[in-house]
């Protein structure tokens, strides 16, 4: 499922891939359901390609979201990430991913993670795993 969920640089929120066209993708906002085209000039990243830094190896975003879901009971995070202090964000993230790299993961990254998690849960996306067929090369 995370293969079809996209983050687009310069555009707020998350988007679901609806269709592919010539030199463009049609995406639908998970926040308000509006559809729009995105073009080759837009920087688009699938959530399945995102990872978080830890003291050992990087951890896939799907695993981090799954851990957040277990902590929050698959409900939106109660704290407002925009108003939370850096210490509150880091304390929350300590419970989600205890061995995160404190030098390379910034409070803004944790805020974005919480915002993305809340958007996904409100949109009904609660399966954050990347299935085997999603990780293979497209033919």
* From-to residues of CATH 2.30.30.730 in the chain: 5-47
Q: What is the pTM of this model?
A: 0.88
Question: What class does CATH assign to 51-122?
Answer: mainly alpha
Q: What does the alpha-carbon distance between residue 82 and residue 80 come to, in Å, rounded to a whole number?
A: 6
**Which architecture characterizes domain 5-47 according to CATH?**
Roll (2.30)
Q: How far is CA 1 from CA 11, 22, 48, 114, in A?
A: 21, 23, 8, 18
From first to last of its 139 residues, the chain has per-residue pLDDT tens of 788 999 999 999 999 999 998 889 999 999 999 999 999 899 999 999 999 999 989 999 999 999 999 999 999 998 999 999 999 999 999 999 999 999 999 999 999 999 999 999 999 988 887 665 544 444 3
Residues of the chain with CATH 1.10.10.1650: 51-122
The CA distance from 90 to 109, in Å, is 10
Burial label, 133 (beta-carbon count in 10 A; 0-12, 13-18, 19+): exposed
């Amino acid at each position: 499922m995370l293969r079809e969920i996209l983050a687009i640089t310069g555009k707020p929120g998350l988007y679901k891939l609806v269709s592919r066209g010539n030199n463009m993708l049609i995406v639908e906002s998970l926040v308000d359901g509006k559809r729009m085209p995105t073009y080759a000039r837009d920087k688009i990243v699938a959530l399945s390609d995102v990872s978080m830094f830890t003291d050992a190896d990087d951890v896939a975003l799907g695993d981090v979201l799954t851990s957040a879901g277990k902590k929050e009971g698959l409900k939106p995070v109660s704290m407002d990430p925009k108003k939370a202090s850096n210490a509150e964000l880091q304390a929350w993230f300590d419970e989600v991913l205890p061995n995160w790299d404190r030098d390379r993961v910034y409070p803004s990254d944790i805020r974005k993670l919480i915002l993305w998690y809340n958007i996904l849960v409100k949109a009904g996306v609660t399966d954050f795993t990347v299935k085997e067929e999603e990780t293979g090369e497209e033919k």
